[in-house]
Amino acid sequence: QKEVEQNSGPLSVPEGAIASLNCTYSDRGSQSFFWYRQYSGKSPELIMSIYSNGDKEDGRFTAQLNKASQYVSLLIRDSQPSDSATYLCAVKKTSYDKVIFGPGTSLSVIP
């Protein structure tokens, strides 16, 4: 079992819809969770971080964390074509542990 798993996609949604990206992790002791966005040919960009169970909202983005079920998700409301990118989930166990990245989910928002 990989430490951090994501559906590779591509996930296609129409413009204006909600895009839902999911990530599961294997280490129950994980404490910090991150979502990065990576446009094709570009470097990853941190867009959300979440540390406690529940929802965290930032503009059109909402990160959801459920430690009991070991999953973290990213919702993008009112999806725009500019949201088309690969979204990387990253998980960290403790302050001194390294970040483990998932393989990423490719999102395509269709105008």
Partner 1 sequence: DAGITQSPRHKVTETGTPVTLRCHQTENHRYMYWYRQDPGHGLRLIHYSYGVKDTDKGEVSDGYSVSRSKTEDFLLTLESATSSQTSVYFCAISEEQHLREYFGPGTRLTVT
- Which residues bind to partner 1, rule: CB under 8 A? 32, 34, 42-46, 49, 88, 92, 95-99, 101-104
- Minimum CB separation of residue 6 from partner 1 in Å reads 9
Cβ distance to partner 1 smaller for residue 17 or 27 = 27
Cβ distance to partner 1 smaller for residue 43 or 82 = 43
Q: What is the 3-state secondary structure (H, E, C) of 7-75?
A: CCCCEEEECCCCEEEEEEECCCCCCEEEEEEECCCCCCEEEEEECCCEEEEECCEEEEEECCCCEEEEE
Cβ distance to partner 1 smaller for residue 79 or 105 = 105
- Minimum CB separation of residue 92 from partner 1 in Å reads 6
- Minimum CB separation of residue 9 from partner 1 in Å reads 13
Instruction: Enter the tokens of residue 46.
Output: 């941190």
- Kindly report whether the peptide bond that precedes residue 111 is cis, defined as omega within 30 degrees of 0: no
- Minimum CB separation of residue 29 from partner 1 in Å reads 15
Q: Report the C-alpha gap between 46 and 76 in whole angstroms.
A: 15
Cβ distance to partner 1 smaller for residue 47 or 79 = 47
C-alpha distance across the termini of the chain, in Å: 36
